[in-house]
Structure 1
């Protein structure tokens, strides 16, 4: 029930800008705490241990009030509190912001919108590169931003979704293989891998089930997911590549280096603007199917 309420509220209204301007967002609150701990604790010896301690502080700060509030207020109110921790509408909005100019052949606007959702350098990217980066972001974040939070809400309620978002935010801020964070963020990165293991595969299943070509989509996921640098992101990305009959991943440019990543569904063609539009349609159907599954679980649970 908590997961279903959160998803319905997010799909209906997202996180309104006036509310964000007034109080911010729980993820930004977590981010501020992580940044403060990074400055205070990421120094001296035993960086791995210090990073583990910092991660546990952040997770505890998220879980403890969530557990108290759920016990005090009950599942209906807990569902409302879980609402900002699901990002289904936000992800759709950000990807539509890329799709619109890309479909209109406005590459400068499409590059600007794509730069808001990916970390790679897209200043000179052409249509296939922009479509590829956006579809990859949509596929990975369908897991990280939607299915994984819902999964942990189903398993552990409001404390579960709060813990997951804390872990995911830790990974996004300190879980990088950089000189500063390779040791300090190692625990957070491994924990994020563990908590996303099953949700990533469930996301791939949902994408395949709603793709219109489930056999091809799931075959691509099973064949190519393990080639991805991430133990989890390759599953929804490869499933989407198979669903669209395009290739994803491959070489990409970051600020200071070129990452020579393997292709997913590499024998297929490059994606274009129309494929991003198709990917959004699959994503919406996958989220709808997840919502229907949650509704069924709510209905059958009393029996």
Structure 2
């Protein structure tokens, strides 16, 4: 996992690699899309669609985990095997990508180019960017940073530390299932039910760990811990509220709150209510907090490796 984190921090996932072979998550996504077409049939009742979704979630997770397990058979012993295993785990960590996407929002927003900032934030959130003002764009980018720090880095590394290459690969399969079919839409309400519930389960510990990392590496650890404990349960997600609340308190801003998805207004509670809305400078501060949290994560992994 340390090798994977180091490679991703330095290189990200290089564009020539993506052009040549794509990315393992896109391969998993292609399989999920195919199963969605084959098994999520409009003419069957919701119970059958839910059963088909359970089978899809279990089959995709088992297949990806099994392939990763088979790959470990061919790894040599010693440090060569550790390095090669880290290379195989590398694409399942999105530390550099997350930082770059949020920084791409901060730069035009700080320069006063709201339209460009809206375009960049649309790459990382699902809400309608055309309805967002400067504070809304800043909030959306920081909320994505907090939630995806858990889903994209801490959780895969956590499961990789526990279960090795099969653990990190299976986690990314679960997370990809949730992102693709785990939505409460007419098409996926039943079919994606299992994927959403499994994703909630495997993120229970990592989300709380991510909140702790944000809180303990901040200048306001007591306030961040207290806010996380108080406000995490107000969030629509059983997990995302933990890192969002910790980051909000660490930066002294409010997050979440009402937002627009298409033609639907989601009237959601504020996290760290009473604090001001974020500014472009707060995005920069949030990225600094993210970097400190990732350094702390790497140190935790190093300590666990030495035990």
Aligned pair partner of 1:29 in 27, 30, 35: 27
**Alignment partners' CA distance in 2, 1:95 and 1:125:** 16
Per-residue deviation, 1:297: 2.0
Aligned pair partner of 2:236 in 216, 229, 242: 229
Matched position secondary structure for 1:253:
strand
Aligned to 1:291: 298
Aligned pair partner of 2:110 in 90, 103, 112: 103
Q: How does 1:72-83 map to 2 (within 5 A)?
A: 72-73=74-75, 74-83=81-90
Matched position secondary structure for 1:176:
coil
Aligned to 1:50: 52
Aligned pair partner of 1:282 in 269, 285, 289: 289
Greater mean alpha carbon deviation, residues 72-81 or residues 244-253: 72-81
Query: How many equivalent pairs are there?
Result: 298
Greater mean alpha carbon deviation, residues 196-205 or residues 116-125: 116-125
TM-score, structure 2 normalization: 0.96
Aligned to 2:249: 242
Matched position secondary structure for 1:123:
helix
Aligned pair partner of 2:262 in 255, 259, 265: 255
**Alignment partners' CA distance in 2, 1:72 and 1:65:** 12
TM-score, structure 1 normalization: 0.97
Aligned to 1:129: 136
Aligned pair partner of 2:72 in 70, 73, 76: 70
- Structure 2 unmatched runs, 5+: 76-80
Matched position secondary structure for 1:258:
strand
Per-residue deviation, 1:75: 3.2
1:211 aligns with 2:218: yes
Per-residue deviation, 1:212: 1.1
Aligned pair partner of 1:16 in 14, 18, 21: 14
Q: What whole-Å deviation, never above 9, does each CA across 1:83-113 have from its counterpart, x for those lacking one? A: 0000000000000000101111111110110
Q: What whole-Å deviation, never above 9, does each CA across 1:27-79 have from its counterpart, x for those lacking one? A: 00000000000000002241111001111221122111100111321433111
1:70·1:77 contact (CA, 8 Å) conserved in 2? Answer: no
Q: What whole-Å deviation, never above 9, does each CA across 1:241-278 have from its counterpart, x for those lacking one? A: 11011110000011120110100001111111010110
Greater mean alpha carbon deviation, residues 14-23 or residues 60-69: 60-69
Aligned to 1:119: 126
Aligned to 1:61: 63
Aligned to 1:7: 5
- Structure 1 unmatched runs, 5+: none
**Alignment partners' CA distance in 2, 1:256 and 1:71:** 50
